[in-house]
Amino acid sequence: MRDVNSLNKVILIGHLGADPELRYIPQTDRAVANFSLATNELVFKPDSDERDSRTEWHRIVVWGKLAEFSEKYLTKGKQILLEGRLRTEKWQDQEGNKRQTTALLMQEVPLIM
């Protein structure tokens, strides 16, 4: 069911932390690529007028032809603008601990800056 009063859309501008890692899912032969993207913001230090740079790392996941495009044209250090949506995956590890991770699923061809 789609809720018309909600929107899951993220736009990021940042630098790739590594080259995308491309692999294919064995059962479907569908391409998937993963990479990290760093965004920076200037924040004021507490009790001071000085600013400090804070880096936030984002996990990016790309599927299909867009994954193959990413592996071919995106490289570490390159600045891009990308659009996508957030997805949280939950699982249980081998020791029985509950785990979760949130990633941005890239849905549009990125703008390479």
Kindly report the pTM of this predicted structure. 0.83
**What's residue 43's pLDDT?**
85
Half-sphere exposure of 56 (CA within 13 A, CB side): 11
According to CATH, the superfamily of the domain at 15-84 is Nucleic acid-binding proteins (2.40.50.140)
pLDDT over 70 percentage in the chain: 97
62-107 pLDDT, tens per residue? 999 999 999 999 999 999 999 999 999 998 999 999 999 999 999 9
Terminal alpha carbon distance of the chain: 37
